[in-house]
Structure 1
Amino acid sequence: MKRRQFLAALSAAPVAVPRLAFAQDFPAKPIRLIVPFAAGGPTDALGRGFALLLSEVLKQQVIVDNKGGAGGNIGIDMVAKAAPDGYTIGLGTNGPLAGNLALFKSMPYDPARDLAPIARLAFVPNVIAIHPAVPAKTLADLIALLKAEPDRYSFASGGNGTTSHLAGEYLKVKTGTRMTHVPYKGDGPGLSDALGGQIPIIIASVTATAPYVHSGKLRALAVTSAQRMPSLPDVPTVAEAARLTGFDFSAWYALVGPARMPPEIVSRLSAASLQVAESRQMSDRLATLGGVPAPMNAEQLGKYIRAEIPRMAQVIKETGARAD
């Protein structure tokens, strides 16, 4: 009996060794980081900064690949369907990793089933801003304008299911106003139209809007976070400006891969990602983007996503938000 056990263990050993060696040698080639929104927005900006720092930690190139559309679903679906070898990963947000399950009639993937959580990186709040031609100086002015002329005004968001989209819908419900939602493939394209006056209101990240607020090309009325932001210290929160207690719609950013990734690869990527997230370089970069570090390891992120799915479903149900 002992001899049979010894032979069985011996025959199994060569299987374990290559897998361990693979994990130790990982990454042996460049890693593709899919950003599920267009270039120019906060996810893109954060992703490119993160990729540079992760490349340094892993001693291997991390290449950003923008795949926007369907509120982030297109890019994250590509991650879910990629080979589970760690060489294709994605930078997801609230929408494609949680809220879109309730927002879209059908989803090409299940974030809790088809993705491997790796690490959460950061939070970035949004700003409610308007083109200077809009006759409003404060959020209270804008609410009064929307009540006086329902359905005349529209607001841009970074896409269906994003926190900017849900912040707009929640504001409508809580203030009894009406405005039309126009989803874009990320903050960048929406900003272009807002700056050109094609759309009067935009809800977008501090990252994307702050430079134009400082230059006077956009007027910031409120930030959607629970606290004021250091990059826009004079801009009140929605809770302050509209007396909406508990209003907090900040985007969170997390790294995921395809399900069935080897645990050793997940651990390697998670440890490297947390090293970046907790670094001074990343903290400084986030400060320029209006964000704050919010690191979580793979296990913590998995629990967080499973809790966020029903929480965001409740918000979507309450607001009646839908994928336009």
Structure 2
Amino acid sequence: MLRKSLLALGLLSVFGSALAQSAYPTKPIKLLVPFAAGGTTDLIARVIADPLGRELGQPVVVENRGGGGGSIGAAETARAAPDGYNLGIATVSTTATNPAINPKIPYNVATDFTPVINIAATPNVIAANPQFAGKNYAQFLDEVKKHPGKYSYASPGTGSITHLMMEMFKLSTGTDMMHVPYRGSGPALNDAVAGQVPLIFDNLPSALPFIKEKRLVALVVAAPERIPAMPDVPTFKEVGLEAANRMAYYGIVGPKNLPKDIVDKLNAATRKVLQDPAIRKRIEETGSIIQAGTPEKFAQQMKEELAVYKDVVVKQKLTMD
């Protein structure tokens, strides 16, 4: 009798757990953006949050937690309970460049996250305040070569993808510019537009509105081909810097040990949202390319990008200082 009772309890426990997971979600879901409001990561998150909430039957609430090049917010997601109610937006900065350059990063990319889906990949752009002497790529390169150390550039933070990409650019071209890190793209863009910093390397979606309004001048873009909204702006590949012609990804991750059925449900719901022509249009208008792959594919992308930037950091002897 005891054995049967224990077996029954065990089956009840398994059944109850499965039932709870199949009922997921039963309350609002937090989607943490590890950067300040106003940047590309924030933009992507807010485009999908409401429709994803409708698809799942519970609100998806975006929260911003900037600082540390994205590591503070990413660490919060890594520490959260693996119940599906604390998710985060993962970027190349939080899962590749920042971990590659910062030995004190408070999480392990390979073991502390559960990849859910890669939402989109976006180009990156070097842009200048209109008062800057260079009005195109050739003039920009000539100006910074003539005046080493004179100009500074803004980035979303130390260890961000655009920080490391600009350092790659400097080493490839023999130029010297001062890095000014911010707590996200929003504040960096504000100062670049105001002329506090003459140059910025940023993700295209957050910079593009300022470029269209002629409040920033696009100089060169990291993208597979020229961007229709900026037909006169060359890609890094076109100017002979193919290694820097890298895009940034924006995906959803949860803490480690997130149950597979919850991962699959989130992945399927997000993919359905990204099939909506209106949602696709909003994302693609920023110059981004929809990804919407499997959790396994996103995990492989994260692994490969981390390896690329670890190699860059080692070869170029980059540090957080």
Both proteins in one fold, TM over 0.5: yes
Q: Distance in 1 between matches of 2:49 and 2:4?
A: 46
Residues 175-324 of structure 1: matches in 2 within 5 Å?
A: 175-240=173-238, 242-324=239-321
* CA-to-aligned-CA distance 1:149-198 (integer Å, 9 cap, x gap): 11110111112222211221111011000001111111110111111111
**What is the match of residue 122 of structure 1?**
120
Q: Distance in 2 between matches of 1:303 and 1:219?
A: 35
TM-score normalised by L of structure 1: 0.94
* CA-to-aligned-CA distance 1:120-168 (integer Å, 9 cap, x gap): 1100111111111111122121122112111110111112222211221
User: How many angstroms does 1:221 deviate by?
Assistant: 0.8
Q: Percent identity?
A: 36
**What is the match of residue 68 of structure 1?**
66
Per the alignment, in what secondary structure is the counterpart of residue 255 of structure 1? Answer: strand
Q: Distance in 1 between matches of 2:33 and 2:252?
A: 10
User: How many angstroms does 1:265 deviate by?
Assistant: 1.4
User: How many angstroms does 1:6 deviate by?
Assistant: 7.0
Q: Distance in 1 between matches of 2:3 and 2:232?
A: 72
Report the CA distance shift for 1:6/1:299 in structure 2 as closer, same or farther (over 3 A): farther
User: How many angstroms does 1:323 deviate by?
Assistant: 2.7
**Number of aligned positions between the proteins:** 321
Q: Distance in 1 between matches of 2:50 and 2:320?
A: 33
The one-letter code sitting in structure 1 at the alignment partner of 2:53 is S
Per the alignment, in what secondary structure is the counterpart of residue 237 of structure 2? Answer: helix
- Report which stretch shifted further, 246-255 or 77-86: 246-255
* CA-to-aligned-CA distance 1:233-281 (integer Å, 9 cap, x gap): 22111222x3223431211011001112222212211221222233323
**What is the match of residue 28 of structure 2?**
30
Q: Distance in 2 between matches of 1:322 and 1:194?
A: 25
Q: 1:135 aligns with which of 129, 133, 136?
A: 133
Q: Distance in 2 between matches of 1:5 and 1:310?
A: 51
Q: Distance in 2 between matches of 1:282 and 1:112?
A: 31
Q: Distance in 2 between matches of 1:205 and 1:95?
A: 11
**What is the match of residue 102 of structure 1?**
100
TM-score normalised by L of structure 2: 0.94
**What is the match of residue 20 of structure 1?**
18
Q: Distance in 2 between matches of 1:320 and 1:277?
A: 40
Q: Distance in 1 between matches of 2:316 and 2:287?
A: 27
User: How many angstroms does 1:23 deviate by?
Assistant: 1.5
Is 1:152 aligned with 2:150?
A: yes
Q: Distance in 1 between matches of 2:210 and 2:92?
A: 25
- Unaligned regions of 5+ residues in structure 2, if any? none
Q: Is the 8 A contact 1:164 1:249 kept in 2?
A: no
The one-letter code sitting in structure 2 at the alignment partner of 1:60 is Q
The one-letter code sitting in structure 2 at the alignment partner of 1:54 is L
Per the alignment, in what secondary structure is the counterpart of residue 16 of structure 1? Answer: helix
Q: Is the 8 A contact 1:167 1:224 kept in 2?
A: no
Report the CA distance shift for 1:81/1:245 in structure 2 as closer, same or farther (over 3 A): closer
Per the alignment, in what secondary structure is the counterpart of residue 99 of structure 2? Answer: helix
Q: Is the 8 A contact 2:97 2:164 kept in 1?
A: no
Q: Distance in 2 between matches of 1:50 and 1:166?
A: 28
Q: Is the 8 A contact 2:97 2:161 kept in 1?
A: no
Q: Is the 8 A contact 2:122 2:204 kept in 1?
A: yes
Q: Distance in 2 between matches of 1:4 and 1:173?
A: 72
The one-letter code sitting in structure 1 at the alignment partner of 2:313 is I
Q: Distance in 2 between matches of 1:245 and 1:304?
A: 19
Q: Distance in 1 between matches of 2:316 and 2:194?
A: 29
Q: Distance in 1 between matches of 2:298 and 2:133?
A: 43
Q: Distance in 2 between matches of 1:216 and 1:307?
A: 36
Q: Distance in 2 between matches of 1:213 and 1:191?
A: 11
The one-letter code sitting in structure 2 at the alignment partner of 1:323 is M
Q: Is the 8 A contact 1:34 1:67 kept in 2?
A: yes
Q: Distance in 1 between matches of 2:264 and 2:84?
A: 11
